[in-house]
Each structure stands twice: as C-alpha cells, then as structure tokens.
Amino acid sequence: MQVTWRSPSNIAIIKYWGKHGNQLPNNASLSLTLSNASTETSLKLLRKRSKKEIEVDFRFEGEKNPAFAEKITTYITSLHKEMSWLSTHRLQIHSSNSFPHSAGIASSASSMSALALCLLSTDVMQGRKLKPEQFFSVAGNYARLGSGSACRSVFPGFALWGKTDLIETASDKTAIPFPENYHPDFEEMQDSILIVHAGEKPVSSRAGHALMRTHSMADQRYANAHTRLKTLIQVLRSGDWETFCSITEAEALELHALMMTSDPSYILMRPNTLAIIEKIRHFRADTKIPLCFTLDAGPNVHVLYPWFVKKEVRNFIQSELLEFCAKKKVIYDQMGRGPVQVME
Ligand code: DP6
C-alpha cells in the first residue's frame, strides 16, 4: 500500500509567533499558499523487520537523513494511539523538495503537510470513516501537530489558522480557507523569493516561539496581530493593495523586532536583507507600483505583488535586486491551488 502527496509551502502575511499547549497558536495567522515551492512525500506500508514499536525507514531526496528521521519518528510515535497501523507496519517514507534544501526557504510547512496528508489517506484506506468534505480540515489538524504553519498549507489561496472573534469558524486546531471571496486583484498573487543567505537558521522556530513566553512585548504583539488581521480581511475583500503592503511589511518587521528584543536576542536579517527592503520601498515610492516585502524567521525576502505588474516587478528584481542575492538566486512563485495527491 502506497500513497503520495505533493504539498506546497506557504508564506504568512499575519505571522504566527508564539504558541502554547500542544501546538496551539497564541494568535490567529493568515497566509498565502504557494504553488511551486512544495514537498512530495510517499508513504508505503511494509512488513515489520524489528521489534521497535515504530519502525520508520526515511529518505530525503534519496538519501538517509538521521536528523529528519528522528523528528518524523517522534511525530509518528505521538500519533500511533490514533492510528494503530503505524505500529504494526514498517513505514517507508520518501520525501523530496521542489526547491534545493540549501536554498534556505522554510520547508517544514510543505513537508509536514505532505506527510500528514499521506498519514490520513492511509488511515482512510485502513478503514477510518471520514466525510470527504472533512478530509483537508482533519489533515490540517495532523499537519499542525508536526509544525504549526503546516496546517495552512493544506488549503489553496489564503488560509487562516487560530481562533479569533473575527471569524466564527476559525480554530486553533486546524486552518480554514479564508477569505474565499477575495478581490480579483489578489488572485494569482506573485511571490518572488530572494535568497539572501542559504545556510541553516541560527534559531529553530520551536526555540523562537518559546522566546515569546517571557517577551516583554508579547501582549502588545498579540493585540497588533488581531488589529492587523481585522484590517487585512477588509483589504483582501476590497482589493486595497496599498493597505495590504503596509500591513504585510509591519508584520514582517514586527516579527524581526520581537526576535531582536528577546532574551537571548537574534538578528536574523543580513545587510543585504535591508538593502533589498530599501530598494523595494524606493521603487514603490517612485513608480507607485504595488509591491511589498515580507520575511519569515530568516534573512530571505519574499516580494509580493499583483499579477498585473509582473513584468515591471520582474524587470526591477532582475536589474536591481539580484546583486544582493546569494548566487543571484530568486525563486519565482505565486498563489497556489493547494496539495495534490500523486497517483502511482
Ligand atoms: C515565522 O510553523 O515553523 O514562519 O510550529 O514550531 O513548527 P512550529 O513553527 P513554524 O513557525 C512558523 C513561524 C513563521 C511565521 C508563520 O509562518 O506564521
């Protein structure tokens, strides 16, 4: 028995930073699901060879990878009470990314969502009763347990994760596709990922989230996220790119400000990150073309812009921003349609 899923990465507009309990977010976040940056994972059930409770044979891009294997084994062990077949088979899991691992773009969202989708598909084949319309929501719940941001990757377009009084159906347990009726000017939103530095991050997301527990600005941060989310929802419906840009940049800079002012403190931007940010702001002021930047917990810059200025922005990236990128590397991506099951 084998299943394969290809699942995309996502980039948060409203950031998830800070969590409690078993992978529950301290604020609601909203992201754009990407198209090209994705992970393809297959799960095959084989006859057990050892007496180990959970037997995982994991390969990443064809090679054994003990660090990933350990993370996956811990995750699967936490699920085996719900899915008893996890301990009665040897699990062969093969995974590969559409982007080079060394590019330094976060892959936990795409990899954990792809794995969660494989686990849930197999569970259904093993007899679990699940209404088809519940499949992605339940998959999101399992993805969240592997990596919080991964639950947003199971939906196309925009996804929202975390309880908020702004949306009745929002939940801490899984994401929802939201908003579904956004303005056509946000359709096919472009995301060009400028690789400023491709190395390992100096702080894991898990350690980063933990810093929020004692952060002196934590309460203000969660209040800001709530206010910005409220405005963003209106903006996505009305097509107001200008306000979209100011919210998106404020969120990215606040995330980094929180890291800079935590104890210990981390500066994850590089000089070239700031150089790119300045160039983007000047270009926007000079041309009035809507474009903005966002960052995840690292130095690389995501440039967001509408499809109707694609030509102008790509020319700008090629002529003015490439010199700040490691090996002139840019990944051109855009809003995506969500995960797909790959048929054997
Ligand atoms: C800065 O989802 O990677 O990208 O739940 O510990 O796996 P874990 O964290 P993770 O955190 C993502 C943080 C972020 C913002 C975001 O994606 O919302």
pLDDT of 129 reads 97
pLDDT of 60 reads 94
Distance 344 CA to ligand 1 centre (A): 31
Which backbone phi and psi does 80 adopt, to 5 degrees? -70, -15
Sign of the Cα torsion 267, 273, 275, 278 reads: negative
Q: How many CB atoms lie within 10 A of CB 214?
A: 9
Distance 338 CA to ligand 1 centre (A): 18
pTM to 2 decimal places: 0.97
Give the integer Cα–Cα distance in Å for 29 and 46: 38
Distance 208 CA to ligand 1 centre (A): 9
Distance 280 CA to ligand 1 centre (A): 25
pLDDT of 99 reads 86
Ranges in the chain, pLDDT < 70: 101-104, 106
Task: Give the position, in ligand 1's atom list, of the atom nearest the Cα of 150.
Answer: 2
Residues in the ligand 1 pocket, defined by CB under 6 Å = 12, 15-17, 23, 29, 106, 108, 147-149, 205-206, 209, 255, 296-297
pLDDT of 201 reads 75
Give the integer Cα–Cα distance in Å for 145 and 151: 9
pLDDT of 334 reads 98
Task: Give the position, in ligand 1's atom list, of the atom nearest the Cα of 29.
Answer: 18
Give the integer Cα–Cα distance in Å for 141 and 92: 22
Ligand 1 mutation pick, 149, 191, 269, max ligand atoms within 8 A of CB: 149
In the structure encoding, which two tokens stand for residue 254, read together? 């606040």
Pairing of strands 90-97, 29-46: antiparallel
Distance 180 CA to ligand 1 centre (A): 23
With tokens 């952060």, the residue in question is 215
pLDDT of 285 reads 98
pLDDT of 202 reads 75
Residue nearest to atom 6 of ligand 1 (CA): 206
Distance 161 CA to ligand 1 centre (A): 12
Give the integer Cα–Cα distance in Å for 62 and 213: 39
SS (H, E, C) the chain: CEEEEEEEEEEEEECCCCEECCCEECCCEEEEEEEEEEEEEEEEEECCCCCCCCEEEEEECCEECHHHHHHHHHHHHHHCCCCHHHHCCEEEEEEEECCCHHHCCCCHHHHHHHHHHHHHHHHHHCCCCCCHHHHHHHHHHHHHHHCHHHHHHHCCCEEEECCECCECCCCCCCEEECCCCCCHHHCCCEEEEECCCCCCCCCCHHHHHHHHHHCCCHHHHHHHHHHHHHHHHHHHHHCCHHHHHHHHHHHHHHHHHHHHCCCCCCCCCCHHHHHHHHHHHHHHHHHCCCCEEEECCCCCEEEEECHHHHHHHHHHHHHHHHHHCHHHCEEEEEECCCCEECCC
291 burial via Cβ count (<10 Å: 0-12, 13-18, 19+): buried
The DSSP bridge partners found for residue 40 are 6, 96
In the structure encoding, which two tokens stand for residue 53, read together? 């409770």
In the structure encoding, which two tokens stand for residue 212, read together? 């929020």
pLDDT of 106 reads 61
Distance 343 CA to ligand 1 centre (A): 30
Ramachandran bin of 105, using left for φ above 0, alpha for ψ from -120 to 50, beta for the remaining angles: beta
* Of 108, 116, 80, 323, nearest in space to 206 by CA: 108
Ligand 1 mutation pick, 9, 15, 16, max ligand atoms within 8 A of CB: 16
